[in-house]
Structure formats: C-alpha cells, structure tokens
Chains A and B, each alone.
Chain A
Amino acid sequence: MAQGGNNRSRLLLVILLVTSLFLITLDLRGISLTSTSRSATQSFLAPVQRSVSNFFSPVNNFFSDIKNFGKTKAQLKDAQAANAKLKAQVIINQDIQGQLTQLRDVLDLAGRGKLSVVSGRVIGRGSTSTFSQTITIDVGSRSGVTKDMSVIANGGLVGAVKSVTSNSAVVLLMSDPTFRVGVRLAKTQSAGVLLGQGDGSYVLQLLDPSGTIKVGQVLVTLGSDNNRPFVPGIPVGRVVAVDKSTASLTQQATVVGLTNLNNVGVVSVITKAAVKNPKDSLIPTPKPTVTVFVTAPPVTSPSGVPTPGQTPSPSPSPSATRSVQ
C-alpha cells in the first residue's frame, strides 16, 4: 500500500514538473498568456498595495527604529524633551511631507528639462523572492504611462518602465544587475555604458578608448531612439573611482547614483521628452548658502580713541556676503 502511495506521489511529481517545464517553455517562447496573467495580478494588487501603503507607511522604518534602542538615559531625556516640542508637528504627516519634498524636486528637474511628466507614488518594491530590483508606482496606462519610458526622481534617473497596467506600473530600477544605460560624461562627448551592480554602485565602461574619466565627473543619459527607453540629458551618477588597470581595452570607473533608490517615495515618468536636447543643463548645481558676517563698528573710548576688543554694540551694521560653495 505504501509502495502504491510512493508511486502515486512520484507520478504526481513528474506530471507537475513537466507542467512547470511546459509553462517555462511557453514563457520563453513569448506566449502572451503568462505576461497577461502577471499584469492581471498587478491590476489586482495595485489597489491593495495602495491601501496598505497608506495604512502601514510607518512600518517601513520599524527595524531602523529598533537599532536605536541602545540610548543612554541622558539622550532619552533629551529625546523626550524634543518629543514634547515636536508634538505640535505631529499633525503634519512626515511621510507626506517627505513625499512632497521629493515631488517638488522631481518636478523642478522635469521643469528645467522641459519634460512632460506624470508623477506617482511608490506603492511596492520587488520582494526578496523575485531577485529583481523593481518598484511599483501608482500611475499606469490611464495616466499615459507606457512601457519603456524613463523614470526620474529628485536626483535624476531611477529606471525605466518595465510593465504597465491601467492603474500601476512596474519600474526596473537602474541598480538591477540587468540594467544597462548609455551615458555621456558631462561637458565632454565621451560616451559609455553604465551597468547596474545590484547595490548602490555602478560600473561605467567608456566606449571611447582615448577618452579620459575623472573622479567627480557627472554622467548624463545619452538618449535612445525616439527617446525610448531613455531621454537624453538626465543626470545619472557621479564618478567616484577610476579603474587604472591596463588589462581592459576600455576605461572603467565606479559610479554612485545621484538618486538614493532605497528612499525614493515619489517618481515621475517622462511621457514626452523636450524638443531640444537639454545637454548638461539638468546636472545638479550646488545650492548657494548664505553666510552672514557681522562687523562690529569701532567703539570709541571716552578719549575718542577707538578701543580694540570691545563687545559689539547692539546695533551693528551687518554686511551680508553671499558665498557659493
């Protein structure tokens, strides 16, 4: 009897394995059944993800909060005092505030490049079991998003739209190991290919053997045919190290992205590129910081002689200097 059960389970195993292989073969041969089923799942998941995202956004930082448990008593007291001050600000949802900041910055970037964009919130991320680095956003074909459109955030390029449903889209992040984008070193014409590495760093392979790469140089997208999937001129990353080895034919460099893909909450999908190539105009420029120098007027002693080292008078004549860092 047990032998019969074993035979039955083995037969079942073979049947199911063959079915799986059949499905894999169908998928690899490009039968649309599988992609349809995945986009149907995405259509079903998007509203659920959106609702959960609204309710459980504080859960995101659960583990980073746990890390801070080892506080001293004094720090705890300070934190409690600070907490009391911050109670007034509790009404303002910090999550929304952060998203608004990101949205403002990304719209600013799109505005400078004269790009038509559709902005959306990140409502999901690729799970551990999928091995691909993706995000799901809450805008889809209804908002004009289609496959192979560039996606940007406040810092620059985020990735490209991989699949779309009516109300959501899956974006392949530029950190994914399969991600490749043609780039150009800003202010030069040296072109290369940027490869995702699965983490926050990227590898730049320069196509021009005579070109030179310098640390600190910014990369922008080279652009694709009909601007799909990449529109030109989008900032991508900054060179942090140049590979000096002579083994490879082309020069290589390590690059860090200008956008922190782990914290991205709001992104914009470029639906229409600018008529004119923005070239290097979208490269982030350092923000000017204002430094105020207060120059105390000389205080006169009773004898009428200016005395050095005196406390400035309460009405100094400030001279403001605007310095650019």
Chain B
Amino acid sequence: MSPSRIFSSSGLLIVAFLIQESLVTRINFPISGFSFYIAVLIGLISFEDRSGAVVIGFIGGIILDLSPTIDAPFGQWAFVMTLIGFLFATNRESIGNFSSRPMALIALVAAGAMFSMVIFLMISALLGENDGAFSQIVIKVLGNGFWTIIFAPLIIPFLSLFHNASLTSRERR
C-alpha cells in the first residue's frame, strides 16, 4: 500500500467522519441508527489486501476514537478495526473476487459493520464499561446492519471508483 493511498484514504475517512458527526447523527432513523462512517470504513477495507486492510482499519479506528461523544477508552475502536481489517481481508481472499457478486460484498460489509460493533461491545464488557441494556444493544447492532444493507449499494460503487483512482501505476500492474 503506497503512502499516497494511505493519505487519500485517510482524507476520505475524515470526510466520512465529518458527514457522520454533523449530518447523519441528526437524522432520526426509525430502527436504531446508521453508522455511515463504519459502512465507509468497512467498504474501504473490502477493496484492500491484507496489509492495506490492517492499516486502513487502524487509521479508521483512530479517527473514530477521536469522536468527542465516545465514552470508550481512546484506541478501542483502533483495536477493533485493525482486527476487523485483518479478518475481513483474510475471509475475502477465501471467498474470492467480488466484482461479479456485488450482493455478496454488500452482505459482507453489513456483516463486518455488525461484527465490528459486537467486538467493540465485547471489549467494552471486558473493560467493565456499561453500554446499556442487552435488548437495546441488539436493536442497535441489528438496526445498523439493516441500514448498512440499505445504504451500502450507494456507497460501495463510489468507494470502488475511489479505490481505482487512488491506485498507483505499479499497484495497477
């Protein structure tokens, strides 16, 4: 993964973070809420190889950790997203190429978004944090998965274009 792609991906993630914090959070979604940022991050990870996915996951997690409304220790999302990046890239390699199966990619992005939240909650539980009632958490995680499935078809084509544009000539070969 080239340094220029790390910078461009980080820039995209910062923009997604700003959209999430200033616009998406203001929308009252019927079932729980939607984390636009996690969807973009998982989508971005899905186009990367193992090393790229791990790096993007870490950077994305650090940006999410900067959220002023977050109550978890700084670095918790970075830990989760690094792990998710690795797991995602490893499983993607076993599933194969997604270009002919866009629905599989959408399902995997939604599953990745939900799984990242579950890991985050598990770590929170280990650290003794209170994230609310179990039923509320289940609704939140499933609601986020639902909205990710709905919105991922709009986000992923853009991320694909962005990824292709950010590849260096060496990486294209």
In contact, A13 and B82 (Cβ under 8 angstroms) = yes
Chain B residues with Cβ under 8 A from A22's Cβ? Answer: 75
In contact, A198 and B51 (Cβ under 8 angstroms) = no
Chain A residues with Cβ under 8 A from B66's Cβ? Answer: 37-38, 41
Distance in angstroms between the alpha carbons of A117 and B165 in the assembled complex: 52
Bitwise interface map of A from 4 to 27 toward B, beta carbon under 8 Å scored 1, else 0: 011011001100110111111011
Distance in angstroms between the alpha carbons of A263 and B87 in the assembled complex: 40
A131 in complex: contacting residue of B25, B27, B30, B132, CB < 8 Å: B132
Distance in angstroms between the alpha carbons of A51 and B18 in the assembled complex: 12
Chain B residues with Cβ under 8 A from A34's Cβ? Answer: 65, 73-75
Residue tally, chain A, CB below 8 Å to B:
58
Q: How far is the CB of B63 from chain A (nearest CB, A)?
A: 9
In contact, B27 and A45 (Cβ under 8 angstroms) = no
Bitwise interface map of B from 59 to 78 toward A, beta carbon under 8 Å scored 1, else 0: 00100111111111111111
Q: How far is the CB of B49 from chain A (nearest CB, A)?
A: 8
Identify the stretch in A60-68, A77-85, A290-298 within 8 Å (CB) of chain B at 4 or more residues: A60-68
Report if A28 contacts B (CB, 8 A).
yes
Q: How far is the CB of A14 from chain B (nearest CB, A)?
A: 10
Chain A residues with Cβ under 8 A from B68's Cβ? Answer: 38-39, 41-42, 45, 136, 163, 170
In contact, B75 and A21 (Cβ under 8 angstroms) = yes
Chain A residues with Cβ under 8 A from B143's Cβ? Answer: 128
Identify the stretch in A119-127, A148-156, A269-277, A303-311 within 8 Å (CB) of chain B at 4 or more residues: A119-127
B71 in complex: contacting residue of A12, A48, A52, A132, CB < 8 Å: A132
Chain A residues with Cβ under 8 A from B75's Cβ? Answer: 19-24, 26-27, 34
In contact, A23 and B50 (Cβ under 8 angstroms) = no
Most buried by B among A38, A57, A176: A38
Report if B127 contacts A (CB, 8 A).
yes
Chain B residues with Cβ under 8 A from A130's Cβ? Answer: 67, 69-72
Chain B residues with Cβ under 8 A from A129's Cβ? Answer: 20, 35, 37-38, 64, 67, 70, 77, 117, 120
In contact, B21 and A124 (Cβ under 8 angstroms) = yes
Known: A23-B78, A37-B66. A128 touches B34 (CB 8 A): yes
In contact, B54 and A13 (Cβ under 8 angstroms) = yes
Bitwise interface map of B from 9 to 24 toward A, beta carbon under 8 Å scored 1, else 0: 0000000001011111
Given contacts A23-B75, A129-B38, 5 further A-B contacts (CB under 8 A): A9-B50, A20-B79, A45-B22, A127-B21, A132-B71
